[in-house]
């Protein structure tokens, strides 16, 4: 795995099996005043293969859906957290469902934030807030109290 060169746009990777959700996320991202380079994968097996590839430059931030075929987001997060190199990768959960007990487990596995899928206007605001927090805090993992992101946090 290669490291990112400085002064480049934020590299964002979204792993989500739903093409509509990927399109929606990309649309929201393009409206933000932050330079980004965006790519997507459709399932957890593809994600883990890409992250473990020797010639892959790791993204700055991974947005991870929980409900995917082949390997779900929680399984991917466990593998990421158990890998010495990958565990430093900021992972933001991006999912339709939100259950407090599952959210606690995901935080314990190393996730940085949890964003519930929402409408475009709200997603834009939440993405801007999350990306700004990550950059300002030099990609330091936030405390559990800031894990679940919503408009009330923004």
Q: How confident is the model at residue 29 (pLDDT cuts 50, 70, 90)?
A: very high
Packed helices 120-136 and 19-30: angle between N→C axes, nearest 10 degrees: 60
The pLDDT of 136-148, averaged and rounded, is: 82
Q: pLDDT class for 99, splitting at 50, 70, 90? A: confident
80: confidence class by pLDDT, cuts 50, 70, 90: very high
pLDDT, tens only, 82-96: 999 999 999 999 998
154 pLDDT exceeds 70?
Answer: no
Rounded (5°) CA angle 116-29-15: 55
What's the count of helices (H) and strands (E) in the chain, helices before strands? 5, 6
pLDDT over 60 (residue 142)? yes
Contact 152, 145 (CB under 8 A): no
Residue 17 forms part of a structural domain: yes
pLDDT band at 30 (very low <50, low <70, confident <90, very high): very high
CA 88 to chain centre: 13
In a domain, 105, yes or no: yes
User: With contact defined as beta carbons under 8 Å apart, do 110 and 147 qualify?
Assistant: no
Domain that holds residue 52: 10-149
- The verdict on residue 4 lying in a domain is no
pTM for this one? 0.90
- Arithmetic mean of pLDDT, 107-116: 93
- Is 63 domain-assigned? yes
Residues 41-70 pLDDT 10s: 999 999 999 999 988 889 999 999 999 988
* Strand order through the sheet with 113-116: 36-41, 10-15, 61-64, 91-95, 113-116, 148-149
**CATH code of the domain in which 23 resides:** 3.40.50.2300
3 in a structural domain: no
With a cut of 50, say whether residue 4 has pLDDT above it: no
- What sign results for the dihedral spanned by CA atoms 65, 35, 145, 143? positive
* Domain count of the fold of the chain: 1
């Amino acid at each position: 795995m290669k490291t990112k060169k400085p002064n480049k746009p934020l590299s964002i990777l979204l792993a989500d099996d739903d093409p509509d959700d990927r399109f929606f996320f990309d649309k929201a991202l393009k409206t933000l005043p932050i330079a980004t380079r965006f790519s997507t994968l459709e399932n957890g097996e593809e994600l883990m293969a890409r992250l473990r590839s020797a010639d892959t430059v790791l993204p700055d931030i991974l947005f991870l859906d929980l409900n995917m075929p082949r390997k779900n987001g929680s399984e991917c997060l466990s593998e990421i957290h158990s890998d010495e190199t990958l565990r430093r990768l900021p992972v933001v959960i991006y999912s339709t469902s939100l259950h407090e007990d599952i959210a606690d487990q995901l935080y314990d596995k190393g996730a940085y934030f949890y964003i519930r899928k929402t409408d475009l206007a709200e997603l834009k605001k939440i993405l801007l807030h999350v990306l700004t927090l990550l950059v300002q805090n030099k990609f330091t993992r936030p405390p559990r109290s800031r894990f679940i992101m919503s408009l009330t946090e923004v």
